[in-house]
A and B are shown apart, each in its own frame.
Chain A
Amino acid sequence: AQKITQTQPGMFVQEKEAVTLDCTYDTSDPSYGLFWYKQPSSGEMIFLIYQGSYDQQNATEGRYSLNFQKARKSANLVISASQLGDSAMYFCAMRGSGYSTLTFGKGTMLLVSP
């Protein structure tokens, strides 16, 4: 079975500061992918960043980076220099190579203040 845990229901951050959103996972699959999605209030699900379990380096995409610690089974999202437009719900998700389903965490609501 696959499981994703996001322990932070909500986070507050000031504009231009960095913020880390936590994600831990559990799977017995040796090969898996970890994904982060952003869901603004308008509702769409926007793909942000991907990390493969065998990737040697942490993934980065612009202001987003993934702090991947395989031994701890954690895949935290780091957003540098927060912007007001970053206010949204953020979901961590995973899929093992033996699964068709993308398993999601419950999400973290991020609010960026001026």
Chain B
Amino acid sequence: EAQVTQNPRYLITVTGKKLTVTCSQNMNHEYMSWYRQDPGLGLRQIYYSMNVEVTDKGDVPEGYKVSRKEKRNFPLILESPSPNQTSLYFCASRAGGALETQYFGPGTRLLVL
């Protein structure tokens, strides 16, 4: 089954404790992205990657890191989480064409205390 997977689905952590949210897709997609969704602000792109070893900042990159060492994986790293990073996070992927449909993972609910 074609899908985007994320882990963990739910995470409660404390300020300053480094964490990684994994993302993997099995559709051989070139593009992968991370979004966060917050009430009243909608979905905002954090980082995206156009292919292996090629990443770029989205609209809200501060406090996040990403890497793309393999085509299928695109982990999101929070080196020192803060409470304002409490949010619902989505990983997404799409094929390389500019107008291709983007498919989302199931989401990760993060609470930073």
List, in ascending order, chain B residues with CB within 8 A of A106's CB: 40, 42
Q: Which size class do A's interface residues fall under?
A: 20 to 34
Majority DSSP secondary structure for residues of B touching A? strand
Q: Which residue of A lies closest to B56 (CB)?
A: A100
Residue of B88, B98, B100 with most partner-chain A CB within 10 A: B98
Does B101 lie within 8 Å of A35, measured CB to CB?
yes
Count how many pairs of residues, one from A and one from B, have CB atoms less than 8 Å apart in the complex. 60
Does B99 lie within 8 Å of A95, measured CB to CB?
yes
- Any A CB within 8 A of the CB of B107: yes
Does A47 lie within 8 Å of B103, measured CB to CB?
yes
List, in ascending order, chain B residues with CB within 8 A of A35's CB: 101-102
Q: Which residue of B lies closest to A37 (CB)?
A: B104
- Any B CB within 8 A of the CB of A91: yes
**Within the complex, what minimum Cβ distance (angstroms) separates B52 from chain A?**
16
Interface residues of B (CB under 8 A from A): 31, 33, 40, 42-43, 45, 48, 50, 56, 58-59, 88, 90, 92, 98-107, 109
